[in-house]
Structure 1
Amino acid sequence: MKPKFDPVSRRQFLVGAGGVALSLPLLPSLLPREAEAQTVAAASAERYFAHMTTWHGVLQAQFYGTLLDLPATATTTHAGVGVRSAPLPTAVTNGRVVLSEILNASSANLTPRMLSMMNVINGIDIPAGPGHNRGGPLGGDAANPSIDQVLAGSAKFYPNGALQPAIVRNLVSLSKTSSGIVQTQETADSNVKLFDRLFKTTTTPDTGAPAQPVLVDSVREHAALVKSDPRCSADCRTRLDEYLTMLSEVQGKVQQGANSNFPRPTVDTRAVENTAGFYGEPQNHAKCEQLWNDIVVAAFTAGITRVYVCGPTSYTFGPEPEHAWHNNYAHNIEAEASKRAGFSAAVQLQFESAQLDLARKMDAVRTADGSTLLDKGFVFSGHELGSGGSPGNHHNRCIPIVSFGSAGGFFKTGLSLDYRDMNSFLWSISPTSPRWFSGLTNNQLMGMVLRAMGLSPADYGGGTYGYPNVKGSNSYTDAIWAAGAENLPWLKA
């Protein structure tokens, strides 16, 4: 027996009792013959987009560390700015890959494979007014939606059937409505609710009520029939088994919890966040973030969505809650060595346990054409504020950016890319403060990301200045704005 096939969305499903339907990763050997070639080609062209935003800004030395002194292996002049690139270092010291105070991780996590898929980008500015923002690192502003919503609403990105909303966490995404630009509503405020919404199940049992069946159990009979079909190849059987196992593990984690030492009625991350002491336990922030990642990867694998964005969260990854963390640490990283160390440790934990964790989990999922979700994806992060001077001044220059994935070979990876204009801002806040630097525009990067996802400039306003297609701050030269439609040096494969 074959899976149910929807010719509009080109998706396959397992069906269980009571009409339960479970979306599947593509199983090419079981496609209708007349749809096989076209469906496989369409699946190979699919791209996956994920972005995480970090609170506030950092110092250049904190984030980029040894990369600031890395000898350039290539230089050029772009838009009148002398820019540089070099391969990322790969040395392992005491079991860790260390690029900076923040960009370091266990060599078991930041493997040679992950390093080869990684880029670190310096010298990208948000060319708008300085200050805290929601959506700036994703190209959103008062007149334009953030790029996650551009993708979610694009028939180019979702060419086969209904558009699929992005998974949105926290205040980071901007949508365009008839009344103007508004903050996009969160998809769900907990991992349990996200799982329920995406997979149409109930994971939180009511007291005294019979336990809900695990979603995978509801379709296991159909799965067995699918695997026994003579047309089901060994590769498709393996992919189906791996997917069902992953989904069982995800649902099991949702039901069992992130940390048995954390007393709570359920594993709902919202309940965990509300537990006394949570904000003093950074490792529990990391475990909760990984629970979210599990569900995102399951949704990507099933084809339920291909866009995920996560804004600055109540998880500070540090020893204090959100507002105290902002005032006591983020504003004191230049003045107090202990605050700098604490802030670096927190952002490092977020890098390794959230962004790198998501990239590794995506790289573990093989798709029908033999590539992984990460091969087809672009998982990147950006800070809310910059690193080009003192972050306490809330500026948006030199936003720290890290990425994993090549978006199906669109991006060249394994690079340190430095687009700073080393002749900009010949002053600093004080004689002992870091120098200020400016760079190229985030508009140029956002336009490039949209093209990597399969869109053309006509799909995002023409793209003369990148995305948004707006010539903003006068502190950037005409040459920099004129380069907005071009690819950034060395980043295009």
Structure 2
Amino acid sequence: MNIKKYTPIDRRTFLKGAGGVALSLPLLESMAASEEDLSSPTRMICGAVFYGLMPKFFNPVEVGKDYQLTPLLQPLSQHKQDMTVFSGLDHNMGGGHHSTRYFLNGIQISQAAAFEQGNISVDQKAANFIGTQTRYPSLVLGATSNDFNLISWSENSIPKAQVTKVSELHRKLFSQLGPRQKAKFEKSLNDKNSILDLVRQDARKHQDKFSKADKEKLDQYFTSIRELEKRAKQSRNWLDKPKPSTDYVLSDEVDSLDIAQRMKYYYDLMVLALQTDSTRVISLSFSALGPNYGGFTGVSHDYHSLSHHGNVPETMEELLIIEKAYMEGFAYFLDKLKQIKEPSGKTLFDSTMSLFGCGMSSGNSHSNRNLPVVLAGGGFKHGEHKKYARSNGRSVELNNLYLSMLQKFGLKIDKFNTSTGTLKGLEWT
């Protein structure tokens, strides 16, 4: 397709001449200096719930293009041709609820030492590839503050801290720093670097006295220090670059809303984060409902208790309300992505691979087999239910899907964690 060339306009000039109107500005055609500038960067979104998605209501019976949408897939009906539903993929691990934290990596902490990059998760592998190209290599979001809600892991087996408040996410994306705030922030970065230098020097001074086990722990510690330094450098590089503006307004009470009402705010801001190229990698997880049973109409029991439904129909129907609401939230996000046109002529949906699922299939049985997984958009050939059979007592590795996603993201790798290759049958457009 021929792309019309435009005389480039500096983005700051455009904002300055906007007459004070606050707009969320993505890359516009008139800001592009070449056809390359009109290309859409690849993005990755990873969404997860904690207590599984009931297999009875999630897994389709038919395989291929003519599968029937199940109750939990019904909210995604208008995206059926643009998504793939997977069956038969998992991480070949047990652990029940505790393994949901490893949905995006497939490696528990106790096993991480055997892998070159520990138990790094797929979103952080992509974020490392992006580096300093965006203000935030990734955004890690959690709808509730909960240790079991953690799904993103760095290469040194440390879970990434989550942004749990909608107001904090909005501030990170759009709040400008004044001169005093910049000076204070830069001082804190300098102080942090000074402390890290002192710690490193002190540790090296005494390293001859350490045992082999201590030296291994020290290596992990130095890896953590390097990661802190990398984040500090990233922050300094973007310190003097203005953040985008937006007319998206939050109410003062947004953080006190129930999850049922708050969910769309996360997704709205995620779309804006991608549209303004503030980041290209985002993870979002849901676990405990919080007070008022999450604000879901018809729910009067704790989420965890409902997940142990014992196949009681009334309990399963109540749990289905929660699970369907999460699928509706994901559908809302995909709807928003399709509404955003990019200079390339594609939509934001086309360039964003959007994954949603869980590291446990059934909360009732604590099963980690046949994990519920949906992938939408992102330049893959979709429109099917793909089912993979077990072989020699093992499932096809979910990390095979992640390897395919990482390669589509641009990484030149042929291995990711426990993968045995890319996922067969999943093709690019």
The two structures have a TM-score, normalised by structure 2, of: 0.69
Q: Tell me if 1:419 matches 2:398.
A: no
State the distance in 1 between where 2:126 and 2:165 align.
24
Once the two structures are superposed, the pairs formed by residues 27-176 of structure 1 within 5 Å of their partners are 27-31=28-32, 35-40=33-38, 43-44=39-40, 46-64=41-59, 67-68=60-61, 70=62, 72=63, 85-89=64-68, 99-105=69-75, 110-111=77-78, 114-131=79-96, 132-133=98-99, 135-139=101-105, 141=107, 142=109, 143-154=118-129, 157=130, 161=133, 164-170=136-142, 171-176=149-154
Inter-CA distance 321–380: structure 2 relative to 1 (3 Å threshold): farther
- Are the counterparts in 1 of residues 45 and 353 from structure 2 also a CA contact under 8 Å? yes
Once the two structures are superposed, the pairs formed by residues 380-459 of structure 1 within 5 Å of their partners are 380-387=355-362, 391-405=363-377, 407=378, 409=379, 411-421=380-390, 439-457=395-413
Q: Which has the higher contact order (CA 8 A, sep 6+)?
A: 2
Q: Quick one: which amino acid aligns to residue 267 of structure 2?
A: N
State the distance in 1 between where 2:42 and 2:254 align.
30
CA drift of 1:296 comes to 1.0
Root-mean-square deviation over aligned CA pairs: 3.2
State the distance in 2 between where 1:20 and 1:164 align.
25
Q: Quick one: which amino acid aligns to residue 151 of structure 2?
A: S
- Are the counterparts in 1 of residues 134 and 278 from structure 2 also a CA contact under 8 Å? no
User: Residue 289 of structure 1 aligns with which residue?
Assistant: 263
More deviation in 338-347 or 360-369?
A: 338-347
Once the two structures are superposed, the pairs formed by residues 252-401 of structure 1 within 5 Å of their partners are 254-255=250-251, 266-269=252-255, 271-273=256-258, 285-315=259-289, 318=296, 324-326=302-304, 328-332=305-309, 334-352=310-328, 354-387=329-362, 391-401=363-373
User: Residue 423 of structure 2 aligns with which residue?
Assistant: 487
CA drift of 1:362 comes to 0.7
Q: Quick one: which amino acid aligns to residue 454 of structure 1?
A: G
- Are the counterparts in 2 of residues 102 and 345 from structure 1 also a CA contact under 8 Å? no
Say which structure is richer in helix: 2
* Paired residue total: 335
State the distance in 2 between where 1:357 and 1:102 align.
14
Q: Quick one: which amino acid aligns to residue 489 of structure 1?
A: G
- Are the counterparts in 1 of residues 50 and 100 from structure 2 also a CA contact under 8 Å? no
User: Residue 75 of structure 1 aligns with which residue?
Assistant: none
- Are the counterparts in 2 of residues 412 and 490 from structure 1 also a CA contact under 8 Å? yes
CA drift of 1:57 comes to 2.7
Deviations 1:367-401 (A, max 9, x none): 001100101111121113025xxx43323110001
Deviations 1:130-168 (A, max 9, x none): 2223542211532221111111111xx46x835633121
1:366 aligned counterpart, secondary structure: coil
State the distance in 1 between where 2:264 and 2:369 align.
30
1:293 aligned counterpart, secondary structure: helix
State the distance in 2 between where 1:348 and 1:330 align.
14
State the distance in 1 between where 2:392 and 2:52 align.
19
CA drift of 1:169 comes to 1.3
State the distance in 2 between where 1:330 and 1:440 align.
26
Q: Quick one: which amino acid aligns to residue 387 of structure 2?
A: D
CA drift of 1:2 comes to 6.8
The two structures have a TM-score, normalised by structure 1, of: 0.61
Q: Quick one: which amino acid aligns to residue 31 of structure 2?
A: L
Q: Quick one: which amino acid aligns to residue 74 of structure 2?
A: N
State the distance in 2 between where 1:21 and 1:59 align.
44
State the distance in 2 between where 1:21 and 1:101 align.
41
State the distance in 2 between where 1:50 and 1:344 align.
24
State the distance in 1 between where 2:383 and 2:10 align.
41
State the distance in 1 between where 2:273 and 2:24 align.
9
User: Residue 4 of structure 1 aligns with which residue?
Assistant: 10
CA drift of 1:357 comes to 0.6
1:379 aligned counterpart, secondary structure: strand
Deviations 1:175-213 (A, max 9, x none): 336xx3111111x322122111111259xxxxxxxxxxx
State the distance in 1 between where 2:300 and 2:125 align.
33
Where structure 1 has 5 or more consecutive residues not aligned to the other structure, the ranges are 7-11, 73-84, 90-98, 203-242, 256-265, 274-284, 426-437, 471-480
CA drift of 1:452 comes to 1.7
Deviations 1:428-456 (A, max 9, x none): xxxxxxxxxx6311121111111121112
Inter-CA distance 150–346: structure 2 relative to 1 (3 Å threshold): same
Deviations 1:316-363 (A, max 9, x none): 7656689x321x21012x4311111111221111101x1111111011
Say which structure is richer in strand: 1
State the distance in 2 between where 1:340 and 1:299 align.
36
Percent of paired sites with the same residue:
21
- Are the counterparts in 2 of residues 28 and 36 from structure 1 also a CA contact under 8 Å? no
State the distance in 2 between where 1:58 and 1:38 align.
41
1:86 aligned counterpart, secondary structure: coil
Once the two structures are superposed, the pairs formed by residues 199-210 of structure 1 within 5 Å of their partners are 199-201=174-176
- Are the counterparts in 2 of residues 126 and 441 from structure 1 also a CA contact under 8 Å? yes
